[in-house]
Amino acid sequence: MAEFSAPATLEEALEQLRQPGALAVGGGTQVGLLVRHGMLQPRRLVWLGRVSELHGIRVENGALAIGAGATLAEIATSPRVRQLHPMLAEAAAQIGNPRVRAVATLGGHLAHADPRQDLPPVLLALGASILVERGRSRREVPAGDFFTAPFETVLDQDELVTLVRIPPGSPRRRSRYVRFAPGSESDYATVGVAASVELEGDTVLAARMALCGVHPRPLGLDLVELHGRRLDDRSREIAAEAVARACDPVGDQRGSAAYKRAMAGLWTRRVLRQLAADRAHGGG
């Protein structure tokens, strides 16, 4: 039976995680399952819920700074997140079910690194970075470099995600996240697509797309092919083709690799159509 501790400070938590066999616990929605099924056999569970430094959602120098201890429900309902990056709040609100969202934390979500998870593509599209700490050292990792393989990240065993920083967006930017979950709304998505596009009138200045569910890790793409083009049917086609070419899906119970590739293209077209409609209505 693993020992359990609930440190009150980040320093204590990081110190405890240096011990062999220690494992961080955020909301425990994955740790609980993995320990119950014998896939993890930690000697000590270090619960982060009391660490005050990991809590809070604030604005620092124009950037949105979200503590790793923020729950998905807090992110979904935070007035700051909804105002600055509504795409992130909307994506968080669609994850799992209310019981999962009430306890699951941003830090646990990122460290778990399931390639089907919804927030990584949103964070990639928004150009977020992830603050990682160990002992007295810290490094800031761009979200695009954080995930290395299915369920793997750049984190070492004694490192913690402490904060996610999202730089301020340009007023010209429109962002949207769509997910296709044909099974049930609370299921993982077959594909999720986040789009973040800077527009001058209806001309694209920059376009970043990021996807989950169709690649071994969250897939982020800067679509330079769209620069200078109007956001019309032809641009949507170019984007869909680029995404379908870049992704590398694995067939499973949600569909074959070919089906998922087709869905990645289709939902890329859809999210860009949605963005164009948002622009027409002055939203997004």
Which residues in this chain contact ligand FAD in the complex, by CB under 6 A?
Answer: 23-31, 48, 68, 95-96, 100, 104-105, 107-109, 111-112, 117-118, 155, 160-161, 188
Q: Give me the count of residues in the chain.
A: 284
CB 207 within 8 A of CB 223: yes
Q: How far is the CA of 166 from the CAs of 67, 146, 154, in angstroms?
A: 12, 15, 19
Nearest approach in angstroms of CB 276 to ligand FAD is: 26
> Which residue spans within the chain are E strands per DSSP?
3-5, 22-25, 44-47, 57-60, 63-67, 129-134, 137-142, 147-149, 152-153, 160-166, 173-180, 191-200, 203-212, 219-222
Nearer to ligand FAD, 100 or 266 (CB): 100
Question: Which residues sit opposite 90 in a β-bridge?
Answer: none
Nearer to ligand FAD, 64 or 239 (CB): 64
> Which single residue brings its beta carbon nearest to ligand FAD?
108
| Long-range contacts, stretch 228-235, CB < 8 angstroms, 24+ apart | 228/203, 228/204, 229/203, 229/204, 230/202, 230/203, 230/204, 231/197, 231/199, 231/202, 231/203, 231/204, 231/272, 231/275, 231/276, 231/279, 232/202, 232/276, 235/204, 235/272
Q: How far is the CA of 40 from the CAs of 1, 19, 45, 216, in angstroms?
A: 12, 16, 11, 22
Nearer to ligand FAD, 117 or 129 (CB): 117
Nearer to ligand FAD, 108 or 284 (CB): 108
Nearest approach in angstroms of CB 96 to ligand FAD is: 3
Nearest approach in angstroms of CB 21 to ligand FAD is: 12
Nearest approach in angstroms of CB 25 to ligand FAD is: 5
Longest CA pairwise span in the chain (Å)? 61
Nearer to ligand FAD, 160 or 243 (CB): 160
Nearer to ligand FAD, 75 or 223 (CB): 75
Nearest approach in angstroms of CB 280 to ligand FAD is: 30
> Which residue spans within 136-273 are E strands per DSSP?
137-142, 147-149, 152-153, 160-166, 173-180, 191-200, 203-212, 219-222
Nearest approach in angstroms of CB 7 to ligand FAD is: 12
Nearest approach in angstroms of CB 161 to ligand FAD is: 4
Nearest approach in angstroms of CB 225 to ligand FAD is: 29
Nearer to ligand FAD, 25 or 194 (CB): 25
Nearer to ligand FAD, 53 or 225 (CB): 53
